[in-house]
Amino acid sequence: MKITIDRAALLKPLAHVQSVVERRNTIPILANVLLRAADGRLGLNATDMDMDVVESVGCSVSEPGSVTVPAHTLYEIIRKLQDGSEIELAVVPDSGRMTIRAARSNFSLPTLAVEDFPSLTGDELPTNFVLSAADAKTLIDRTRFAISTEETRYYLNGIYLHETTENDMPVLRAVATDGHRLARVQMPLPDGAAGMPSVIVPRKAVNEIRKLIDETDGDVHIGLSENKLRFSFEDTVLTTKLIDGTFPDYERVIPQSNDKKLLVTCREFKQAVDRVATISTEKSRSVKMSMGDGTLTLSANSPDSGQATEELDVEYSAGAIEIGFNSRYLIDIADQIDDGNKAVFTMADAASPTIVTDEGDESALYVLMPMRV
Amino acid sequence: MTVLCRDCFCWHEEKAATHGAIGRCPSCGSPRLARHPELSTLSIGHIDCDAFYASVEKRDDPSLFDKPVIVGGGRRGVVSAACYVARIHGVRSAMPMFKALAACPHAVVIKPNMAKYAAVGAEIREMMREVTPLVEPLSIDEAFLDMSGTARLHGGPPAETLARLAKRIEDRIRVTVSIGLSYNKFLAKVSSDMDKPRGFHAIGKVDAAAFLAEQPVSIIWGVGKTLQRTLMADGIRRVADLQGHSERDLMRRYGAMGQRLYRFARGEDNRRVEASSPVKSVSNETTFDGDITTAEALRPYLWKLAEEVSGRLKRKGIAGSTVTLKLKTADFKLSTRQRGLQAPTQLADRIFRVANDILTHEADGRRFRLIGVGVSDLCGEALADPPDLAEPDLDRRRRVETAMDSVRAKLGDGAILKGRGLGAGRMKQSPSDKPPPDED
């Protein structure tokens, strides 16, 4: 294999694929990126066995062929080379080495056998649909903050993506929860998604996909089976295994009969919570919300660091109650609501889950568990 | 040389000529004398009960008085404590039970009754607190006492107060103790070991370095088998070998431990006696009668341990957000695996579920001799087990557990059991926050 390629053209796909590669690897081949040159294009492929990213880029191929080299090292080298430089990648026959040349820099990297490189890609997936980049972004951003990191309940370590109906309209819905809060967002079911399997997309894949979405304004293609999800746009394809587990019946925990409604301007609320939370203890981060006629008082009290209160004008008239929340969770949710919009809290009492929504956007809903304060 | 009689508590000065001679107290004739040039100024004490568990058992059953007594778990367990008669036959604490019985076949083996030892230990600790508020327990049966500034209160130097305390413990609790007295914790602990049982030993600034020089490096707190092997490979066997190295040199070789080695080798230890060191973890473990391989067979033991740990958390009003599973293989390889929780817990059910999940991964065909479970990263129970959106059943399970707890509180621990605990047989448990085996 021998190719020449512009540094910037190589750096971008390399950045995508190398971020899939784990820093510590017990299986050497998984630390490598597979490079394949043919027909005027260079294909790059990296995997961690759960997820696989394939990308291709135009280049000038003088000898077609393929090779695997350490992904992070190659990325670091290309990153540090001068912008605008022309790079030559060449496999030295029978030496087990690949050389990298650019201007007066020379590198030589060890290679591993191409045949040993595992591949997740290939087979066609039964369900295929298209989302706009903006919709894909919404599905992820509105939910991923609530993904659990707890290993024991591994089935919560991702976003639950499934088809359902809302007011007899078919919708595509994404849900994530860590037990303390739950985030749910939905949009009209895209063409082709009807009959899709319900899947849990693992956190690492979600984060990689999210990074890729930032690079496109166009449409993204989703392919889906019971145990794989493929995400593709332009020259990039990410394939991930899905979490093999059953997502809990989340509908049961979304309260239906909460009747105490509070509306507060999101920006004011977020800033006030942030200020008051300065005092709450590291361990609990709790902030108390005390509702009265037309006012919301946020307060935090800690024997070690003092106390804080702040009063906000709100729309509320359902009688005085007090509920404690984890301030970080309040801010996470407020972050999802447009700053100028009003956040709507629908509450029952200090022990039951509270619903938070965006007054100007009905697609997303958040459920928050109170804390004992 | 200053001398204190440990029976009549009178002080006198001994002439240099009689140094080392076994003198007797000029007032009462007792041979039990404590001597040291700095005896009237040293103020850090370490009190350690002699063969504690075995002594308590002998106290409660006088027929055992002259018999070798071993306190420890069944055929497979280890010796928790061996009385001094059993020690004549070569029995040592932490020795596997089968070896102990081979050495001393006629020994009387008694299953540990931790609740009883804890109660006696607490009584002794209370007596220690009568002489100084600065009592730092190391385990159920030993503690550091900082006696600085108590001379006027007690009308005599710390050495005398400690000797009187030892006698009071002996009279009231009928268990003997050994006392180490020095100017820091490290040397006090070392001293209490020098004259066991029923001993009193002092190390002062004048003799510390010379005394330490002759000791093996393992005497230094923190030098275990592994470090000892490393040191041995570097030609360091006795403390004297350490004394020859500079602090920089030792730190370069052994890191932070090097600094401790350097200081301790010179008898320097600036750790303070802390009256209350908060509990950092609550754990329990059990050694099986025969090795166990499958997760199914290990589970009942795990459940019982989880219940026990949960019970202690509940009694203390605390909860923790890290669960640790400990397994020891038949060839004594130890593996501990930790799991963080989304929220702190004190529920047996939750501890069990998390530990069981780890267990399922760990039970890969190896044979295990011991299983343990612990909860750490502790906090108050106010934050424990909040209702969970992903587990709507959690609250119901918590209520079930609370109901079971209250039934047990009324009718005893065996009144109501979960099926998953069946099959664990009778367990020898070594609960810990953190009392290790009674070494003396």
CA B119 – CA B142 distance, rounded (Å) = 14
- CATH homologous superfamily of A127-252 equals DNA Polymerase III, subunit A, domain 2 (3.10.150.10)
**C-alpha to C-alpha distances, A180 to A245, A366, B318, B342, nearest whole angstrom:** 20, 11, 20, 8
Instruction: Give mean pLDDT, residues A242-258.
Output: 92
Residue environment code for B148-176, b if the CB has 16+ CB neighbours within 10 A, otherwise e: eebbeebebbbbbbbbebbeebeeebebb
Give me chain A's average pLDDT, please. 92
* Residue B135 CA neighbour count, 13 Å, CB half: 20
> What pLDDT is stored for residue A266 in this prediction?
94
Three-state SS for A88? strand
Q: Which of A36-40, A64-68, A119-123, B349-353 is least confident?
A: A119-123
Instruction: Give mean pLDDT, residues B279-306.
Output: 90
Q: Which of A134-143, B67-76, B241-250, B401-410 is least confident?
A: B67-76
Which DSSP symbol is given to A23? S
* Chain A nearest C-alpha distance from B288 (Å): 26
Query: By the CB < 8 Å criterion, does A156 face chain B?
Result: yes
Asked if A369's CB is within 8 angstroms of B386's CB, the reply is yes
Closest partner residue to A182 among B342, B379, B389, by Cβ?
B389
pLDDT of residue B14 exceeding 80, the answer is no
Active site residue B142: yes
Q: How confident is the model at residue B430 (pLDDT cuts 50, 70, 90)?
A: low
pLDDT of residue B319 exceeding 90, the answer is yes
Domains observed in chain B: 37-206 (3.30.70.270), 209-265 (1.10.150.20), 281-434 (3.30.1490.100)
Query: By the CB < 8 Å criterion, does B342 face chain A?
Result: yes
Query: By the CB < 8 Å criterion, does B353 face chain A?
Result: yes
Residue with tokens 């784990």: A22
The A residues from 21 to 40 touching B (CB cutoff 8 Å) are none
Residue ranges of domains in chain A: 2-116, 127-252, 255-368
Q: Which of A70, A68, A67, A55 is nearest to A25 (CA)?
A: A70
Asked if B386's CB is within 8 angstroms of A152's CB, the reply is no
| More confidently predicted of B390 and B436 | B390
Q: In chain A, where does DSSP find H-type helix?
A: 7-18, 71-80, 133-141, 203-213, 266-277, 327-336
* Chain B nearest C-alpha distance from A286 (Å): 10
Identity of residue A109: L
* Chain B nearest C-alpha distance from A176 (Å): 10
ipTM score of the complex? Answer: 0.78
Asked if B379's CB is within 8 angstroms of A148's CB, the reply is no
Identity of residue A11: L
> What pLDDT is stored for residue B277 in this prediction?
64
B50 — phi, psi (to 5°)? -85, 125
Instruction: Give mean pLDDT, residues B250-279.
Output: 86
Q: In A, which residues are within 8 Å of B387 by CB distance?
A: 351, 353, 369
* Chain B nearest C-alpha distance from A288 (Å): 15
CA A292 – CA A294 distance, rounded (Å) = 6
Q: In B, which residues are within 8 Å of A179 by CB distance?
A: 342-343, 388-391
> What pLDDT is stored for residue B56 in this prediction?
93
pLDDT in tens, B56-79: 999 999 999 899 999 987 656 788
Tokens of A337: 């609501």
Q: In B, which residues are within 8 Å of A178 by CB distance?
A: 342, 390
A237 — phi, psi (to 5°)? -130, 125
Identity of residue B315: R
> What pLDDT is stored for residue B403 in this prediction?
87
A87 — phi, psi (to 5°)? -110, 135
Q: Which of B292, B295, B320, B307 is nearest to B381 (CA)?
A: B320
How would CATH label the architecture of A255-368?
Roll (3.10)
> What pLDDT is stored for residue B257 in this prediction?
86
Asked if A179's CB is within 8 angstroms of B343's CB, the reply is yes
pLDDT in tens, B378-399: 888 888 888 888 887 888 888 8
Tokens of A155: 């089935």
CA B148 – CA B41 distance, rounded (Å) = 9
pLDDT of residue A173 exceeding 90, the answer is yes
pLDDT of residue A102 exceeding 90, the answer is yes
* Residue A131 CA neighbour count, 13 Å, CB half: 23
Instruction: Give mean pLDDT, residues B251-278.
Output: 86
CA A279 – CA A308 distance, rounded (Å) = 6
Does residue A148 contact residue A211 with C-beta atoms inside 8 Å?
no
Residue environment code for B329-348, b if the CB has 16+ CB neighbours within 10 A, otherwise e: eeeeeeeeeebebbbbbbbb
* Chain B nearest C-alpha distance from A57 (Å): 42
B95 — phi, psi (to 5°)? -80, 140
Instruction: Give mean pLDDT, residues A125-144.
Output: 94
> What pLDDT is stored for residue B437 in this prediction?
39
Which DSSP symbol is given to B414? G
Element containing residue B239 per DSSP (H, E): helix B239-243
* Residue B224 CA neighbour count, 13 Å, CB half: 2
Does residue B200 contact residue B170 with C-beta atoms inside 8 Å?
no
> What pLDDT is stored for residue B440 in this prediction?
41
> What pLDDT is stored for residue B18 in this prediction?
53
Residue with tokens 């508020």: B133
CA B80 – CA B70 distance, rounded (Å) = 8
> What pLDDT is stored for residue B52 in this prediction?
93
Which chain B residue has its CA at the smallest distance from A152's CA? Answer: B354
Query: By the CB < 8 Å criterion, does B357 face chain A?
Result: yes
The B residues from 368 to 407 touching A (CB cutoff 8 Å) are 379, 382-383, 386-392
Q: Which of B434, B44, B47, B48 is nearest to B273 (CA)?
A: B44
Asked if B392's CB is within 8 angstroms of A283's CB, the reply is no
- The reply to whether A2-116 and A127-252 are identical in fold is yes
Instruction: Give mean pLDDT, residues A87-114.
Output: 93
Instruction: Give mean pLDDT, residues B129-152.
Output: 91
B338, B388, B389, best to mutate vs chain A, most A CBs in 10 Å: B389
> What pLDDT is stored for residue B438 in this prediction?
40
Residues 6+ apart with CB under 8 A from A224: A125, A126, A127, A128, A129, A196, A197, A199, A230
Instruction: Give mean pLDDT, residues A265-294.
Output: 90
* Chain A nearest C-alpha distance from B383 (Å): 7
Which DSSP symbol is given to A227? S
Q: How confident is the model at residue A119 (pLDDT cuts 50, 70, 90)?
A: confident
Identity of residue B199: G
Q: Percent of chain B having pLDDT more than 90?
A: 45
Residues 6+ apart with CB under 8 A from A30: A21, A22, A47, A48, A49, A118
Query: By the CB < 8 Å criterion, does A252 face chain B?
Result: yes
Residues 6+ apart with CB under 8 A from B207: B36
Q: Which of B38, B57, B136, B142 is catalytic?
A: B142
**C-alpha to C-alpha distances, B117 to A197, B49, B56, B73, B312, nearest whole angstrom:** 60, 11, 7, 15, 17
Identity of residue B188: A
> What pLDDT is stored for residue B346 in this prediction?
93
> What pLDDT is stored for residue A358 in this prediction?
94
pTM of the complete model: 0.70
Does residue B25 contact residue B33 with C-beta atoms inside 8 Å?
yes
> What pLDDT is stored for residue B397 in this prediction?
85
pLDDT of residue B436 exceeding 50, the answer is no
Tokens of A90: 């060449």
CA B33 – CA B39 distance, rounded (Å) = 11
Q: How confident is the model at residue B278 (pLDDT cuts 50, 70, 90)?
A: low
Q: In A, which residues are within 8 Å of B378 by CB distance?
A: none
Give the number of other Cβ atoms within 10 Å of residue B310's Cβ: 25
Q: Percent of chain A having pLDDT more than 90?
A: 82
Q: Which fold has domain A2-116?
A: DNA Polymerase III; Chain A, domain 2 (3.10.150)
Asked if A182's CB is within 8 angstroms of B388's CB, the reply is no
Measured in Å, how far apart are chain A's first and last C-alpha atoms? 66
pLDDT in tens, A188-241: 999 999 999 999 999 999 999 999 999 888 899 999 999 899 999 888 999 999
Q: State the maximum Cα–Cα separation within chain B, in Å, rounded to a whole number.
A: 82
> What pLDDT is stored for residue B20 in this prediction?
52
